[in-house]
A and B are shown apart, each in its own frame.
Chain A
Amino acid sequence: MAKATRAAFGETLTKLVEEGVDVVAVDADLAGSTTTGKFAEAYPDRMVDVGIAEQNMIGVAAGLSLAGRTAFTGSFAVFGTGRCWEQIRNTVCDSNLNVKVCPTHSGITVGPDGATHQMLEDIALMRVLPNMRVLVPADYAAACAAIRLAAATPGPFYVRLGRAVVPEVYDEGFTCELAFANVLREGADVAIMACGVEVAEALKAADLLAQDGISAEVVDVMSVKPLDEKTIVASAVKCGRVVTVEEHSVYGGMGSAVAELLSEKHPVPVTRIGMTTFGTSGEPDELLAYFGLDAAGIARRVRETLGK
């Protein structure tokens, strides 16, 4: 059954404790929405709700990690990375602490809450930080894997989770390693590199493009930092043209990371699809279509770039 990536958060933490992993959660009055509330029901002593105080949330998580815990932080992505960015930089990353920043409600698929609550700059903010690793899971199973990977790997992580239900891309029980990119569909004319909710849209776009005789490869760039350089470069070499898609600003996000890599390792034309403005209110599907981030919008841009 398709679920939101946020649903993986509280559930996976609960399973990790059952498996003997010393994880704790620190949230900022959004336990119901982020699903850390479910974790708190199972393990009340392992959940710390600091109230509406994201900077303190990061500091308290840092302190818990210094005492040996693996600390996961919640809140919404806009507050959980933006309001406390400097705390993440100077306390968590500089000290290389075992803090996993896992806020939910990233991107425009937050929906009706509108622009102030739709975080479009979080990948950029997190990926510039030394010691920080950035994972953007495509679906519920990938989110479970990302949280497990973060728990098992010492040091800071950012796992980008979303509010909206997203189609299944991976089977339950899926696992992955750091620097993971995955060719989900082989193609020859263009490589569509996507992350998060855009992976499912890119797969649908590839179907639409096939109807026009365009062979599109689809690559899930789940690990934005570190990048799976081998897989990404190989796909660029094979297709000769790359289109990136993310529900994030085109400035500094996954597309930028891919463009940076390819400009150094194997320059090919890269088209970045993403956001250049703030979002607005609407249902997730409506917003994806409105901003050209649904399958039809992606297919349209790919045809344009190919001159077809």
Chain B
Amino acid sequence: MSNTLGAQQARTDVEVALVANRLRHDIISMLAEAGSGHPGGSLSAADIMATLFFANVLSYNPDDPNDPDRDRFILCKGHAAPALYAVLAEIGYIPREELATLRKLGSRLQGHPDCHCAPGIEVSTGSLGQGLSIASGLALAFKQDAAHAGEDAPAKRVYALTGDGELQEGQNWEAFMFAAHRGLDNLCAVIDLNNLQIDGHVTDVCSLGDLCGKLKAFGWHVVEVNGHSIPELRAAFAEAAETTGAPTAVVAHTVKGKGVSFMEDACNWHGNAPSAEQAAQALAELDEAQAALAAACKEA
């Protein structure tokens, strides 16, 4: 995987984990300030987002969010907007202080991502089930562009991050079918499989059953990983980039609320913001984790 746009730092796995920790820190801080929002699914996606954006997976230009040659990232699970906003601040597309305006009147940072407000948001999302179709249309266009260019240059890639509860929406399966039929090997869907939705565990509300088997049956190349392991995620994205003839689904097993003990695997933290006290406790835990990672970084 090469990153051809702008200058991105080469980071070790621990350094990427440190970025993920920082994203979590920002997620908790901005949600506590906002007083509403979705911590659980933002925290579960933090390592995936950190790997996509800060481990040289996505090609983008840190100096120009609209660089026409950039790869595209579609946040299908739009309620994880805080994770995306934290990424935009980390890149420098928006000032970090602006994160405190989340969900407030006049802010560029709506409760769900709005593409007209802040740079780096490709399309408005938040209504579940629509992102994968959009990503498929983009991937098809990029494949056609590459074919017409007649060069050896590979097509720009498209990454779509969906939830697992979100896959109950039928439109996803229309898109899974379509992307495989069209052989969109420049498309990678990451499924944040935290097994929680608003009404409970996905396996209790309406189970996805054998998700990997279903995706394979739909014609996708499937890679199953621990969604909190940076090296596993890195390897999965490398495998996706090398896979030809079929789109790749990275089925990432995650823990909803990951990184904050009292939020982990608790469905009441899907759409509730922490109080000031809870946020302080959460940030203390993240600081502790950060210190451990920093020490590991130093040792390495």
Residues of A at the B interface (CB closer than 8 Å) are 26, 45, 48, 50-51, 53, 55-56, 58-69, 71, 86-87, 90-91, 94-97
Contacts A59-B132, A94-B124, A95-B116; is A53 near B174 (CB within 8 Å)?
A: yes
Q: Given the complex of chains A and B, what is the CA–CA distance between A48 and B177 in angstroms?
A: 14
Chain A: CB-nearest residue to B68: A68
Determine chain A's interface SS by DSSP, over half rule. Answer: helix
Q: Please tell me if the beta carbons of A56 and B141 are within 8 angstroms of each other in the complex.
A: no
B223-246 to A contact mask, C-beta < 8 Å, 1/0: 000000000000000000000000
Inter-chain contact A67/B141, CB cutoff 8 Å = yes
Check A91/B130 contact, CB under 8 A, given A56-B174, A60-B137, A96-B116: yes
Partner of A60, one of B123, B125, B136: B136
B135 contacts the other chain (Cβ, under 8 Å)?
Answer: yes
Q: Are B133 and A62 in contact (CB under 8 A)?
A: yes
Q: A61-B137, A63-B141, A68-B141 are in contact. Are A91 and B123 (CB under 8 A)?
A: yes
B141 touches A69 (CB 8 A): yes
State whether A90 and B141 are in contact (beta carbons under 8 Å apart), knowing that A55-B171, A62-B134 are contacts in the complex.
no
With A50-B178, A56-B174 in contact, is A64–B137 under 8 Å at CB? yes
* Chain A residues whose C-beta falls within 8 Å of the C-beta of B137 in the assembled complex: 26, 48, 59-67, 71
The bracket for how many chain B residues form the interface is 20 to 34
4 new A-B contacts at CB < 8 Å, known A59-B136, A63-B136, A64-B137: A56-B171, A63-B139, A90-B127, A94-B124
- List 22 interface pairs A-B (beta carbons < 8 Å), by A numbering: A51-B174, A51-B177, A55-B133, A55-B174, A58-B133, A59-B137, A59-B175, A60-B133, A60-B137, A63-B133, A63-B137, A64-B138, A64-B141, A66-B137, A67-B141, A67-B145, A90-B124, A90-B127, A91-B134, A94-B114, A95-B116, A97-B123
A contact residues around B125 at 8 Å (CB): 90-91
Task: Establish whether residues A53 and B135, one from each chain, have CB atoms under 8 Å apart when the complex forms.
Answer: no
Give the residue name and chain of the A residue nearest to B123 (CB): A95
A95: which B residues are within 8 A, CB to CB?
Answer: 115-116, 123-124
CA distance A66 to B229 in the complex (A): 32
> How far apart sit A120 and B293, CA to CA, in the bound complex (Å)?
62
Instruction: Note all chain B residues with C-beta closer than 8 A to A90.
Output: 124-127, 130
Contacts of A96 in B (CB 8 A): 116
Mark each residue of chain B from 127 to 156: 1 if its CB lies under 8 Å from any CB of chain A, else 0: 101111111111111101100000000000
The residues of B with any CB-CB pair to A shorter than 8 Å are 72, 114-116, 122-127, 129-142, 144-145, 170-171, 174-175, 177-178
Closest Cβ of chain A: how far from B38's Cβ, in Å? 17
Q: Which A residues touch B139, using CB under 8 A?
A: 63
A48 to B181, CA, bound (A): 12
How many Å from the CB of B154 to the closest CB on chain A?
A: 15
For the residues of B in contact with A, the DSSP-based class is helix
- Which residues on B sit within 8 Å (CB–CB) of A68? 141
Complex contacts, A61 vs chain B, CB 8 Å = 137
Set A63, A71, A97: member contacting B135, Cβ < 8 A: A63
Contact B138 A67 (CB under 8 A): yes
CA distance A158 to B106 in the complex (A): 31
Contact (Cβ within 8 A) A59 B144: no
Q: Which of A65, A66, A67, A87 contacts B171 (CB 8 A)?
A: A87
- Whether B142 pairs with A67 at a CB distance below 8 angstroms is yes
Nearest to A65 among chain B residues (CB) is B137
Whether A59 and B134, one on each chain, are in contact in the complex, defined by CB atoms closer than 8 angstroms, is yes
CB distance from A213 to the nearest CB of B (A): 56
**A59-B141 contact given A50-B174, A91-B123, CB 8 Å threshold:** no
Of A48, A51, A53, the residue contacting B140 (CB under 8 A) is A48
- B75 nearest CB across to chain A (Å): 13
| Residues of A close to B170: CB separation below 8 A | 55
Q: Is the CB of A62 within 8 A of B142?
A: no
Cα distance A59–B123 when bound, in Å?
Answer: 11
Shortest beta-carbon distance from B115 to chain A in Å: 5
| Nearest B-chain residue to A96, judged by Cβ | B116
Closest to A59 in B: B133
Which of B134, B136, B138, B178 has the largest number of chain A CB atoms within 10 A? B134
In the complex with contacts A56-B174, A63-B135, A87-B141 CB distance below 8 A: no
Residues of A within 8 A of B177 (CB): 51, 53
A58 to B133, CA, bound (A): 8
- Which residues of chain B have C-beta atoms less than 8 A from A94's C-beta? 114, 124
A66 engages B122 (CB within 8 Å): yes
